[in-house]
Structure 1
């Protein structure tokens, strides 16, 4: 699997194929950008995680960082 970018309508969503587990990992920030049309999806996701944790929601505690290529071409840590 070599496709690293997935298209969702007109938006790009970064993705990585995990050959060991045979599954795709997607950038949560990119998904948030598509779903919310937020100007700053990173800030939106950060605030959403903060609010969910404050409510005791356990879904965000298992998010691990994954390095993906950013718009500037550098590998940056993102939530998977």
Structure 2
């Protein structure tokens, strides 16, 4: 059993939300995009990236994501695209 199921992790000084779901960690894709791109609007960047990748490669990034509720900056639990480690690696390759 995991002690802190919704613990934040830090990557390159950016917080990445995660949640323990079905016996594995799922990470907020928007947070990963923010950490890797320094985009001013990572949610929009992720939205456009999903469209671009689908058109160019035929890969649907949403297939490796699940909508899970994680704590938002305002303290409320909000649904966001999350992916396990394997899915995250596939998205960023």
Q: TM-score, normalised by structure 2?
A: 0.75
| Segments ≥4 residues shifted beyond 3 Å | none
CA RMSD of aligned residues (A): 1.5
Q: Deviations over 1:7-56 (max 9, x none)?
A: 113110001123x42x1100000000000000000000000001112224
The corresponding residue for 1:4 is 7
Count of residues in correspondence between the two structures = 78
Q: Which has the higher contact order (CA 8 A, sep 6+)?
A: 2
Alignment of 1:1-80 (within 5 A): 1=2, 2=4, 4-18=7-21, 20-21=22-23, 23-62=24-63, 63-80=65-82
Residue ranges of structure 2 left out of the alignment (5+ in a row): 83-93
